[in-house]
Amino acid sequence: MKLVYTDVAIEDLKRLRAFIAVHNPPSATRMAAELIGRIGLLPDFPEMGTPVELAPVPGSIRDIVFGRYVVRYSVHVSAVIILRVWHSLEGER
């Protein structure tokens, strides 16, 4: 199964890393690498997230929490698509 990031998800990751880098560049690098590594598990375990209740098709969109970060993604036959990424203190996107 393929892993695909939307342009919005890529911008989310850049924004989160830049925010942390202002105060702690090594931490920003570490956080980004860890988050991307964990997201990389989703093609092998696409059902590990929690279904989003308001998804148009039940179970088609899921959220998974890695530490303080929420990753929203959709599961398809041949791909997992990363839709958004945010810090839990930012609220739902």
Q: What is the pLDDT of residues 46-63, one digit of tens each?
A: 999 999 988 888 778 999
What residues contact 54, with CB distance under 8 A and at least 6 apart?
Answer: none
Q: What is the pLDDT of residues 24-83, one digit of tens each?
A: 999 999 999 999 999 999 999 999 999 998 888 877 899 999 999 999 999 999 999 999
Superfamily (CATH) of domain 2-90: RelE-like (3.30.2310.20)
Query: Which residues are 50's β-sheet partners?
Result: 63
Confidence (pLDDT) at 90 = 76
Over the chain, what is the mean pLDDT?
92
Q: What is the DSSP string of 64-82?
A: EEETTEEEEEEE-SSEEEE
Break the chain into its structural domains and give their ranges: 2-90
Q: What is the pTM of this model?
A: 0.90
